[in-house]
Structure 1
Amino acid sequence: MTHKNDILNLRIPTKENPLRILMSACLAGLTCGYDGTANGEYPSALKLLKYDTIKIIKFCPEEFSFGTPREMCDIHGGTGYDVLNGKAKVLTETGKDWTEGMIKASEKMLEIAKNEGVELVILMDISAACGSQVIYSGNRFAENKVYQIGAGVSAAQLLNNGFKVISQRDFASLELLYSKIDPNHIAAENLKDHHETDWYKSYFKNQ
């Protein structure tokens, strides 16, 4: 998990040397979700597209390996870290094993991050590929769906290699980022990152 101090320690970008951010493509509005949509609209992420002091690199790991549209998939038997270590699998809603494709996609995302000199990554939370704080434990369409603390496969790959990762739900961190790149930005108060919300604390209170 990336901490707020990691955001505060980012350099102040310029037009000549923009801050390089790798973003889940759906958060940037690309229609690469499993059902051919952008998985909704996320103003907190879309706002970053307007700054000329930021270079946004967009990538969808699942589209890379499986195309769009595609089945929904989730991690079974652990987290993205466990998938990378061969201890968990990625299965679709109909039981297809997509583990190998998800690992290949995570390796491609890591390659892009390294080649582009990425300084921050913003990913779609809860995704089996891009979740950075919360993911499903098993099939999200199960009658009694279960969440777990953990990262998706691509997020785990990036975190393992030292990249700073936040989600579109980390509103406090995003406010710090806006302030870093825009001297005229007035930071909103009382915003929280995902792991600081009442829902998160209540759901995971015994973990």
Structure 2
Amino acid sequence: MFGEEMKKLLVSSCLLGKPVRYDGQSQNLLHPGLESLKQQGRIVSFCPEVAGGLPTPRAPAEISQGRVLTQDAHDVTAEFKAGAQQALRVCKEQGIRFALLKESSPSCGRNYIYDGSHTGQKIRGMGLTAKLLSDNNIQVFSEQQLPALLAALAKV
């Protein structure tokens, strides 16, 4: 509409206060910069796990040897991959080049994910959605990188 200044941002729904996390909770991220983007209508809320067909609440899942498994070893890789593909489709359809995703999630983790042992240990790595978006030239930031994201958005 007004060129570059109307660029949209894909944001994990849980960071916007939606109770879509595995435990049925949210992780509402309150920040003036994010509020400003909301008011400008530039935020596209998305939860890849829900989009992939998983219920809320759901069993916690972690990536282990390339698969996404719940604590009782139920394989939910297909649902996680489907949600990642839908996130990419939304970004392509809306010309989204930036995403703000929930750190540590097996979908959205940007810098860290749980190690697959279901013991609370984190390792460096990316969730399925974060990796797919990043591999498709969409800049992915975690909630801990919000200042860097806002700076990057200001430059486009």
Deviations 1:57-115 (A, max 9, x none): 111011122021111101002xxxxxxxxxx1100122100011111111111111101
1:36 positional shift = 1.4
1:133 positional shift = 0.7
Choose which of 63, 66, 80 in structure 1 pairs with 2:54: 66
Q: 1:139 to 1:62 in 2, by over 3 A?
A: farther
User: Quick one: which amino acid aligns to residue 30 of structure 2?
Assistant: P
Once the two structures are superposed, the pairs formed by residues 32-181 of structure 1 within 5 Å of their partners are: 32-38=20-26, 40-44=27-31, 47-51=33-37, 52-64=39-51, 65-77=53-65, 88-140=66-118, 142=119, 145-174=120-149, 176=151, 180=154
Q: Gaps (5+ residues) in structure 1?
A: 1-10, 78-87, 182-207
Q: 1:118 to 1:49 in 2, by over 3 A?
A: same
Q: 1:160 to 1:175 in 2, by over 3 A?
A: closer
Determine if contact 2:49/2:83 at 8 Å carries over to the other structure: yes
Deviations 1:121-151 (A, max 9, x none): 10001000000111111133x2xx4321111
Match of 2:42, SS?
strand
Deviations 1:138-197 (A, max 9, x none): 133x2xx4321111001111011111110101144145258x29xxxxxxxxxxxxxxxx
User: Quick one: which amino acid aligns to residue 60 of structure 1?
Assistant: C
1:119 positional shift = 2.3
User: Quick one: which amino acid aligns to residue 69 of structure 1?
Assistant: P
Work out which of the two has the higher radius of gyration on C-alpha atoms and give 1 or 2.
1
Number of residue equivalences: 151
Residue aligning to 1:28: 16
Q: 1:53 to 1:12 in 2, by over 3 A?
A: farther
Rounded to whole Å, the distance in 1 between the matches of 2:33 and 2:68 is 32
Of all paired residues, the percent bearing the same amino acid is 27
Question: Under a length normalisation based on structure 2, what TM-score does the superposition of the two structures give?
Answer: 0.87
Q: 1:59 to 1:99 in 2, by over 3 A?
A: same
Rounded to whole Å, the distance in 2 between the matches of 1:102 and 1:138 is 15
Q: Gaps (5+ residues) in structure 2?
A: none
